[in-house]
Amino acid sequence: MPTTPATAANSSSNGTGEAILLELVDEHGRTIGTAEKLSAHQAPGQLHRAFSVFLFDEQGRLLLQQRALGKYHSPGVWSNTCCGHPYPGEAPFAAAARRTFEELGVSPSLLAEAGTVRYNHPDPDSGLVEQEFNHLFVGMVQAPLRPDPSEVGETAYVTAEELAVRHAQGPFSAWFMTVLDAARPAIRELTGPSAGW
């Protein structure tokens, strides 16, 4: 993956062990400062920039990931293809592409903006709060996955019907349905009406 000034300054592999910073935003998504990642998620939460990615295969199936059990926030639950936070000064599109590669070992063959959504989702298990201004992206994946086991427990490609069954059985991330519903218009445009999204 290419290195940008934002990623180079914030990379956890730069040997400094510095805290990861997130971009704090106002209700309109304008940057107003930064905060350390964990503190931004402690109740009541600080509104910060995030992204969510939904990738599909050529059959119109959605790629889900199960978050690794070692993650500090929402471990072991199923969620969308990839989600995370841009570094301060990093474009959400670049962050989405970067994290998709870091977590799943694949670069999307297509990635397009799909709007934004603002939400506030407490996680009852950890007590952490997702207070996010989330940039949505939809796209295609055509290469074999190489998931990072420290990030991803399992992956699955599902149809809309299969997702409904899986979601009823749970567990899924607290934010999953909010971001999926917000991205549906772009998902339908990408996958076509026959896919059922």
Active-site residue list: 83, 132
Q: Give the HSE-up count for residue 101: Cα atoms under 13 Å, Cβ half-sphere.
A: 13
Q: Which helix (H) or strand (E) element contains residue 135?
A: strand 129-140
Helix, strand, coil shares of the chain as percentages rounded to 5? 30, 35, 40
Tokens representing residue 191 in the block: 């996958």
Contacts of 185 (CB under 8 A, 6+ apart): 114, 115
Instruction: Give the closest residue to 130 by CA, choosing from 64, 51, 67, 186.
Output: 51
One-character DSSP codes across 90-134: --HHHHHHHHHHHHHS---SEEEEEEEEEEEEE-TTT-BEEEEEE
d(CA 46, CA 23): 10
Residue ranges of the alpha helices (H) in the chain? 5-10, 37-41, 92-104, 160-169, 176-191
